[in-house]
Amino acid sequence: MHKGSFLVMERDDARAVSIVSALQFLGYYAERWDPAREIDLAQDDRRFIYLGSFLDEEEGRHALGELRKRSDNLLALVCADVPHTISLVAPGAGFTGRMELLEFPLRYERLSEAIRSLQTSQPLVPAPASQLLVGGSAAMGRVNALIRQVAPFDSNVLVLGESGTGKEMAARSVHDCSLRRDKPFIAVNCGAIPAELLESELFGHEKGSFTGAISARKGRFELAEGGTLFLDEIGDMSLPMQVKLLRVLQERVYERVGGTRTLRTNVRIIAATHRNLEQAIVDGRFREDLYYRLSVFPLEMPSLHQHLEDLPMLIAEFNQRLLRRGLVGVRFSSSALQALRQYRWPGNVRELSNLVERLAILYPQSEVRAADLPEKYRGAPSAEDAGGMAATAWVDMVMPSALASSSMSSDTDMLLPEGGVDLKDHLADIEVGLIRQALDVTDGVVARAAKLLRMQRTTLVEKLRKYGLQANALAP
Sheet containing 185-189, strands listed edge to edge, beginning at the edge strand earlier in sequence: 185-189, 228-232, 268-273, 157-160, 297-300
Comparing 68-82, 203-217, 352-366, 374-388, the range with the smallest average pLDDT is 374-388
Sketch the domain layout of the chain as residue ranges.
5-124, 157-302, 305-378, 388-473
pTM comes to 0.57
Give me the CATH topology for the region 5-124. Answer: Rossmann fold (3.40.50)
Q: What is the pLDDT of residues 114-134, one digit of tens each?
A: 888 777 654 444 455 557 888
> Taking the domain 157-302, which CATH number applies?
3.40.50.300
pLDDT at position 66: 62
CB-neighbour burial class of residue 381 (10 A; exposed 0-12, middle 13-18, buried 19+): middle
pLDDT at position 45: 52
> Taking the domain 388-473, which CATH number applies?
1.10.10.60
pLDDT over 50 (residue 474): no
- Which residues on neighbouring strands pair with residue 49, listed in sequence order? 7, 76
pLDDT at position 129: 53
Share of the chain above pLDDT 70, in %: 79
Residues 6+ apart with CB under 8 A from 4: 28, 29, 46, 47, 48
Comparing 170-184, 344-358, 444-458, the range with the smallest average pLDDT is 444-458
Q: What is the pLDDT of residues 5-14, one digit of tens each?
A: 888 888 888 8
Spatial separation of the C-alpha atoms in residues 251 and 177, rounded to whole Å: 26
Identify which has the larger pLDDT, 428 or 363: 363
pLDDT over 60 (residue 284): yes
DSSP state letters, 236-263 = GS-HHHHHHHHHHHHHSEE--BT----E
Spatial separation of the C-alpha atoms in residues 8 and 31, rounded to whole Å: 6
Q: What is the pLDDT of residues 289-301, one digit of tens each?
A: 999 999 999 999 9
314-326 burial, b at 16+ Cβ within 10 Å, e below that, comes to bbebbbeebeeee
Rounded to 10 deg, the angle between the 334-342 and 383-405 helix axes is 140
pLDDT confidence band for 242 (50 / 70 / 90): very high
Identify which has the larger pLDDT, 323 or 401: 323
- Are 200 and 219 in contact by the 8 Å Cβ rule? The answer is yes
pLDDT confidence band for 73 (50 / 70 / 90): low
Do 5-124 and 157-302 have matching folds? yes
CB-neighbour burial class of residue 271 (10 A; exposed 0-12, middle 13-18, buried 19+): buried
Q: What is the pLDDT of residues 163-220, one digit of tens each?
A: 999 999 999 999 999 889 989 999 999 988 988 889 999 999 888 777 777 788 899 9
63-90 burial, b at 16+ Cβ within 10 Å, e below that, comes to bbeebbeebeebbbbbbbebebbbbbbb
pLDDT over 80 (residue 349): yes
Residues 6+ apart with CB under 8 A from 276: none
Looking at domain 305-378, its CATH class is mainly alpha
Q: What are phi and psi of 354, to 5 degrees?
A: -65, -40
